[in-house]
């Protein structure tokens, strides 16, 4: 059955790449390109240059500043009254999910169907200006994200640079198991089972074999809020998570965890994970460890806002809003404690290509526009292990460049209106001046 599924994927992807989606990418021109705009964001120094120019040769930036060296035969792209800035980074996405009943779509939709939808999601994210992303689990589609990442890297389909985790890991009866279904139906979980340290290591080795760049582990859930306090059971002990972190380090890779509260988040910080994703409520001890070990918190506000607005019942909407309100309150404590923040939206259950809303919410809940952009671009590049390659308009960096109308340091919502996208020196999206 899998053989026919993958043949189906191959032929449908071939049709996509020869049609509209494939034409979104242009080949990198043999000549130099100069991008010119009214403004350029120097994200590392926190300033706007007027005007702004970037010289691109091949897939990399040669020079960037208020003006650059010009030469005969170059192509000049004048973007008018816009701001040039590095391509955006989303450190928490799900290419294999779309709006709708998350539990049902993973049961009703085949892996080939979901893989095709993932290629469309990747295109939508790229066109929205996200040139690098971290896919946090295929939710039951196994290593299908390996095929999507590799097709993007080969230039066969348009999409962001990807760090992928394959199927996430979860324990029996845990947060991503098929709870609520008739057990006699043996509905598969949305993650790979591992019930102890040995099984964690075994599952990780299989995922690395299948192409995973890092490992995603579910550490807490389900979540409830009572009297302003979050309750969420942990799934793995600190000893078990430490075994996972050691195994990842053995092959030069890292572990990220879904952890919304205590004591699971503390166990993850003690183990030395790369990021604590969602991080609704963290203890002082956890925040101190995260600061000392440079562990990133990835807030994912947008998904909570979406769930609150699209809940099935008024009671469910109230619960989601309670969780969002608590998260916003706790986020301010994390900022005050000096926890490093990276931007991730959890896009998938809400429409791909709309996740720049996360910038707006991070500003709404306590960060300045500049700090939010630095969390996304500088911290995001570190978390995805592309530091020195993406996240700034520096000589030698990959030419992942976008343009937005207005000044995002004055109005962060400008990032929701990306109208120019270049990735690796190739122009994927360009609107008129």
pLDDT of residue 319: 93
3 state DSSP class of 409: coil
Q: Please state, in angstroms and rounded to a whole number, the distance separating the CA atoms of residues 88 and 420.
A: 12
Q: Does position 14 have pLDDT exceeding 60, yes or no?
A: no
pLDDT of residue 252: 98
Nearest CA-CA partner of 265 in 278, 276, 254, 256:
276
pLDDT of residue 19: 39
Q: Which residue has the higher pLDDT, 14 or 109?
A: 109
pLDDT of residue 20: 36
What residues have CB less than 8 Å from 316, skipping those under 6 apart? none
Q: Does position 427 have pLDDT exceeding 60, yes or no?
A: yes
Give the tens place of pLDDT for each residue, 367-387. Answer: 999 999 999 999 999 999 999
Give the tens place of pLDDT for each residue, 339-365. Answer: 999 999 999 999 999 999 999 999 999
The pTM assigned to this predicted structure is 0.92
Work out the burial of residue 215: count CB atoms within 10 Å of its CB; fewer than 13 is exposed, 13-18 middle, 19 or more buried: buried
Mean pLDDT over the full length of the chain: 92
Nearest CA-CA partner of 35 in 61, 15, 14, 12:
61
Q: Please state, in angstroms and rounded to a whole number, the distance separating the CA atoms of residues 119 and 126.
A: 11
Q: What is the arithmetic mean of pLDDT over 59-68? A: 97
Give the tens place of pLDDT for each residue, 253-264. Answer: 999 999 999 999
pLDDT of residue 24: 43
Give the tens place of pLDDT for each residue, 380-407. Answer: 999 999 999 999 999 999 999 999 999 9
pLDDT of residue 317: 96
Q: What is the arithmetic mean of pLDDT over 58-66? A: 97
Q: Please state, in angstroms and rounded to a whole number, the distance separating the CA atoms of residues 361 and 413.
A: 10
What residues have CB less than 8 Å from 259, skipping those under 6 apart? 219, 220, 265, 268, 276, 277, 278, 279
């Amino acid at each position: 059955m899998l053989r026919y599924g993958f043949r189906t994927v191959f032929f449908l992807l071939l049709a996509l790449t020869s049609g509209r989606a494939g034409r979104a990418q242009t080949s990198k021109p043999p000549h130099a390109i100069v991008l010119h705009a009214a403004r350029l964001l120097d994200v590392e120094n926190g300033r706007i240059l007027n005007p702004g120019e970037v010289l691109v040769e091949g897939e990399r930036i040669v020079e960037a500043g208020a003006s650059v060296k010009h030469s005969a035969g170059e192509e000049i792209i004048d973007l008018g009254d816009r701001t040039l800035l590095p391509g955006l980074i989303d450190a928490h996405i799900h290419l294999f999910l779309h709006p709708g009943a998350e539990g049902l779509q993973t049961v009703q939709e085949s892996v080939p169907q979901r893989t095709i939808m993932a290629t469309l999601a990747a295109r939508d994210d790229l066109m929205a200006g996200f040139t690098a992303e971290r896919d946090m689990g295929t939710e039951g589609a196994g290593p299908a994200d390996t095929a999507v990442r590799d097709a993007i890297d080969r230039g066969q389909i348009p999409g962001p640079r990807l760090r992928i985790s394959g199927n996430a890991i979860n324990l029996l009866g845990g947060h991503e198991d098929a709870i609520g279904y008739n057990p006699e139906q043996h509905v598969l979980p949305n993650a790979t089972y591992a019930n102890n340290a040995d099984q964690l290591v075994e599952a990780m080795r299989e995922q690395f074999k299948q192409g995973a760049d890092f490992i995603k582990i579910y550490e807490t859930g389900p979540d409830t809020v009572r009297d302003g306090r979050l309750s969420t059971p942990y799934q793995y002990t600190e000893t078990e998570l430490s075994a996972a972190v050691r195994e990842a380090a053995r092959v030069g890779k890292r572990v990220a965890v879904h952890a919304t509260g205590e004591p699971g988040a503390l166990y993850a910080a003690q183990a030395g994970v790369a990021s604590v994703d969602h991080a609704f409520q963290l203890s002082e001890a956890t925040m101190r460890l995260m600061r000392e070990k440079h562990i990133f918190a990835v807030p994912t506000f947008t998904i909570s806002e979406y769930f609150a607005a699209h809940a099935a019942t008024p009671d469910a909407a109230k619960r989601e809003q309670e969780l969002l309100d608590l998260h916003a309150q706790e986020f301010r404590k994390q900022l005050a404690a000096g926890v490093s923040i990276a931007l991730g939206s959890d896009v998938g259950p809400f429409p791909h290509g709309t996740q720049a809303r996360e910038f707006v919410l991070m500003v709404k809940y306590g960060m300045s526009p500049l700090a939010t952009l630095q969390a996304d671009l500088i911290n995001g590049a570190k978390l995805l292990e592309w530091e020195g390659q993406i996240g700034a308009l520096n000589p030698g960096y990959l030419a992942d460049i976008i343009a937005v109308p207005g000044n995002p340091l004055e109005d962060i919502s400008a990032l929701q209106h990306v109208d120019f996208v270049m990735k690796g020196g190739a122009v994927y999206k360009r609107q008129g001046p």
